[in-house]
Amino acid sequence: MFKVGEYYEEDAKIVAGYLKDAGFKVDIRGMVLAMTDYSASLQGKLSLVKEKTEIHKREEYLSALKNALEKGADAETFEDLFLEEVVPGWKENLAKFRLINEGEAKGDEESQDSLAKSWAECIVAVDFAQKVIDLNEIEFGSPVGDHLDDPLISIPVGTDYPDMDDPLIVNRMDVDLVKKYEITIDEFSASFFDEIDDEFKDEFGDEFLRIRSLGLIMRHLMDVAEKGKMDIEDFAELCDIEFGERWRMSIDGSEVAEEIARSLEKNGMLKMKGNSIKWKG
């Protein structure tokens, strides 16, 4: 079987539907996958973290956080009050950004970049502020007091941080278990790639190119193979093809020649016996 890809349920149904409509033999198998994400951060008192890295922007976020809390922010109003301090007019910027992304408004490249950066800063700022609130056990509605004079803060660092053994470094691994669906097709089915709907080619371009590559090998084998007997080594050589002139394409299926041969056998094209292949017809 040839693996087309792994998808969440909705996309799996769409992909399988397109392929079945084109005459493919499709198999769908559910599986549980572990999605892992590693991250590291400098975590400690503001005064200590400040000695390790530049935090000017974070100090601005802390000031905005303090102002929002002093204005009486609660769980529902905090984000609005905080972001208005950090990025004045952020709601209008977000609305414009969404309209452009959805194709309902136009904007030049410079304005799109500006809106994207504004939205990215909102995400970073809220994440930082929420961690400060959690680390310092700040409760909405309670006096801020000296909680933000030298608070505990957390700043993400990359794997290239020069001192990953620093005592302020906190490493984290997040593992999410998700269900996906693996879609496979019979190798011989790939020769029907011309029957696949154009919408599939547009929406799932990478999948189509992979299917087409295998399909071209299948067609090549049926076109050039001499009827009669051959050994698996000669068959494998036929599974390595190259074509095109100004735009050349190379497809090497020699390592999976036996699997390709067995698919052709299942579909009545040849007979395998040991290391020998006999074409029918």
Give the strands of the sheet with 276-279, arranged side by side: 229-231, 276-279, 270-273
Cα(80)–Cα(61) distance, integer angstroms: 14
pLDDT in tens, the chain (281 residues): 999 999 999 999 999 999 999 999 999 999 999 999 999 999 999 999 999 888 899 999 999 999 899 888 888 899 999 999 888 888 887 777 777 766 666 666 777 777 788 888 889 999 999 999 999 998 888 887 787 889 999 999 988 888 888 999 999 999 999 999 999 999 999 999 999 999 999 999 999 999 999 999 999 998 887 777 889 999 999 999 998 888 888 999 999 999 999 999 998 888 999 889 998 86
Quote the pLDDT of residue 104.
64
Classify residue 278: in a domain, yes or no: no
Q: What's the number of domains the chain is made of?
A: 1
For residue 157, give the 3-state DSSP assignment.
Answer: strand
Classify residue 96: in a domain, yes or no: yes
In Å, how far are 190, 231, 255 from 272, measured between CA atoms?
A: 21, 9, 17
| Per-residue buried b or exposed e for 61-80, using 16+ beta carbons within 10 Å of the residue's own CB | bbebbbebbeeebeeeebbe
Cα(164)–Cα(146) distance, integer angstroms: 31
Classify residue 145: in a domain, yes or no: yes
Classify residue 111: in a domain, yes or no: yes
Over its C-alpha atoms, the chain yields an Rg (Å, rounded) of: 29
For residue 246, give the 3-state DSSP assignment.
Answer: coil
Which residue range(s) make up the domain with 156?
53-165
